[in-house]
Amino acid sequence: MDTEETFELEPAVRRIVALANRLDRDQAEVPWPRRRRESAAGNARLRRLVMPDGPRMASETDELVEVEGGRIHARVYRPRPGRLPVHLFFHGGGWCVGTVDERDPRCRQIAAGADCVVVSVDYRMAPENAFPTAPEDCYRALLWVVGESPRLDVDPTRTSVGGESAGGNLAAVVALMARDRSGPPLAFQWLDVPATDMTMSQPAVDATPPGYLLHRDDMEAYRQAYVMSEDDWTHPYASPLLAEDHTGLPPAWITTCAADPLRDDGRAYAAALEAAGVPVEHRHLTGHVHPSFAFTRIASAAAHERAAVGALRRALHPVP
């Protein structure tokens, strides 16, 4: 699947990568709770350099969602009053790190640009809550949004899912779950740099050198924490690419980046959806790294984000 790639980065991306690599340190022996705290602190330092704050919302509320074995938080962003479509957002972080707070600016931008309510889901983390907890939490959040649609003042017939990296994996899996379980119909799935093959057998995983903010060693650590049984690597709710059937899934927007070991995961998933007759828009960004979806202070990343938000808006506000 992998094609010849250049790892030459855009100058602005190269500067951000150099700064992030200086801040990075080996965390192989660091317990996951501490890793989460340090990851959140590091991302907070970088955020103002790479991502605008996003527009002011009409309201932002934190909700509790009942899930199997407990409750999770969800943050609801409303750009304006009135009944609106709704987009569920799942943050990245290898299923092990990441917070709703870190994606506040992005969720505001999506809500305003797509004229929709955004529900950012704080699913439970591995390794304390390993597979399949995260996808089940995310699917329960979808059911909660639909069930609470009158109170949330959203249109359950215009619902979409999306996420980045591990969150892109979860969005793809929720789309599969909704189809397989005859759940709520989805209008769209937006998958940024998604992980789709937990066997890590796509060529780009080994073809991408270190130093680009995601490497095979990182991916193996996340996989070991998230999918503890090798038998589950091929489960379609861990590896959506390996599902036997991709028909009947919602239209997709898929982003891949050249200097990213997950680029072939996204390419292969786009090809699988297209082969199943699912409409797909696949955008491949040269000069960019795995987390470039967040670098929206850079002109090229900002232009791509506007295009993706525009596609989401068209899916959620179809012209009669």
283 beta partners: 255
Four-residue CA torsion sign, 148, 146, 130, 260 = negative
pLDDT reported for residue 22: 85
pLDDT reported for residue 43: 83
Architecture of domain 11-316: 3-Layer(aba) Sandwich (3.40)
Dmax over CA atoms of the chain, in Å, equals 56
Those residues with Cβ within 8 angstroms of residue 110's Cβ, 6 or more apart along the chain or in another chain? 77, 87, 89, 116, 118, 162, 309, 312
Active-site residue identified among 149, 160, 165, 292: 165
* 182 among known catalytic residues: no
Active-site residue identified among 104, 192, 260, 265: 260
Question: Residue 188: what residue type?
Answer: F
- In whole angstroms, give the CA distance from residue 220 to residue 224: 6
Active-site residue identified among 288, 290, 292, 304: 290
- In whole angstroms, give the CA distance from residue 255 to residue 267: 9
* 206 among known catalytic residues: no
Domain boundaries, the chain: 11-316
pLDDT reported for residue 195: 98
Q: What is the pTM of this model?
A: 0.96
Residue-by-residue pLDDT tens, the chain, 320 positions: 555 577 999 999 999 999 888 877 667 778 999 999 988 888 888 888 899 989 999 999 999 999 999 999 999 999 999 999 999 999 999 999 999 999 999 999 999 999 999 999 999 999 999 999 999 999 999 999 999 999 999 999 999 999 999 999 999 999 999 999 999 999 999 999 999 999 999 999 999 999 999 999 999 999 999 999 999 999 999 999 999 999 999 999 999 999 999 999 999 999 999 999 999 999 999 999 999 988 999 999 999 999 999 999 999 999 88
Continuous segment of H or E residues that includes residue 303: helix 299-316
Residue 103 — φ and ψ, nearest 5°?
A: -105, 15
* 290 among known catalytic residues: yes
Question: Residue 178: what residue type?
Answer: A
pLDDT reported for residue 44: 83
